[in-house]
Amino acid sequence: MVDYALLCEQIRSLAEASADPVPVLANASALLYDALPDLNWAGFYLVRNVGDMGAVTDGAANGAQELLLGPFQGKPACVQIAYGKGVCGTAWAADATQLVPNVHEFPGHIACDSASNSEIVVPLHHGGAVAGVLDIDSPLFDRFNAADRDGLTCFARTLEQIILW
Ligand code: SME
């Protein structure tokens, strides 16, 4: 049984040193990857303007936004995810947590690591809009339940409060 309340306390405590999103999200992914059994990836994608920070684009950005890879634990992952694409882009577009028991049955699932069989994605907010997503993958089917969804939602709310975006 994962103690999500303790994880929220731990990330609050770690963020006392700096509320910059990079160290907070780096430590958040490390905490989750260490504390939750049976994971192969835990990390963040952040909403960014297409073309910012040297991102390679195949055309004019036109003010469009995308999800850009943030701090994570696990194997190297895809760098950009479009709005509405995959589990992460769907969570962003719907502004709703996606709990996926079998990723192979999710239309448009983006397979960054072929070991992944189930996934949960929780949106993070700033200023009333989705600012990014927390993405967690497991090699087990049906790895995440309602308790994980509630605990990770609480963890995401904590991150929203403590990060100086
Ligand atoms: N599976 C995700 C892509 C990110 S990786 O899992 C790290 C998706 O479908 O959006």
The Cα 4–Cα 106 span in angstroms is 27
Output 141 or 1, whichever has higher pLDDT: 141
The pLDDT score that the predictor gives to residue 158 is 98
What six digits make up the tokens of 129? 């809009």
* Beta strands 65-74; 118-126: pairing state: unpaired
Q: Which domain holds residue 64?
A: 4-162
Q: Which helix (H) or strand (E) holds 92?
A: helix 86-94
Is the model's pLDDT at 48 over the cut of 60? yes
pLDDT in tens, 100-158: 999 999 999 999 889 999 999 999 999 999 999 999 999 999 999 999 999 999 999 99
pLDDT in tens, 63-102: 799 999 999 999 999 999 999 999 999 999 999 999 999 9
Name the residue with the closest Cα to ligand 1, atom 5. 112
pLDDT in tens, 149-163: 999 999 999 999 999
The Cα 126–Cα 92 span in angstroms is 13
The pLDDT score that the predictor gives to residue 91 is 98
Q: Is 119 in the pocket of ligand 1 (CB under 6 A)?
A: yes
Q: What pTM was estimated for this model as a whole?
A: 0.94
The pLDDT score that the predictor gives to residue 52 is 75
Classify the C-alpha dihedral 100-88-153-40 as positive or negative.
positive
Banded model confidence at residue 56, pLDDT cuts 50, 70, 90: low
Q: Is 48 in the pocket of ligand 1 (CB under 6 A)?
A: no
Atom of ligand 1 nearest to the CA of 43: 7
Residues 162, 129, 105, 146: what is their CA dihedral angle, to the nearest 10 degrees? 50
Is the model's pLDDT at 60 over the cut of 50? no
Quote the number of domains for the chain: 1
DSSP string, 21-81: HHHHHHHHHHHHHHHSSS-SEEEEEEEEETTGGG---SS--TT-EEEEEEEEEES---SEE
The Cα 59–Cα 112 span in angstroms is 24
A 10 A CB-CB count for 60 gives 9
Q: Is 120 in the pocket of ligand 1 (CB under 6 A)?
A: no
CA of 144 to the centre of ligand 1 (A): 15
Write the CATH number for 151: 3.30.450.40
The Cα 130–Cα 38 span in angstroms is 28
Percent of the chain scoring above 70 in pLDDT: 94
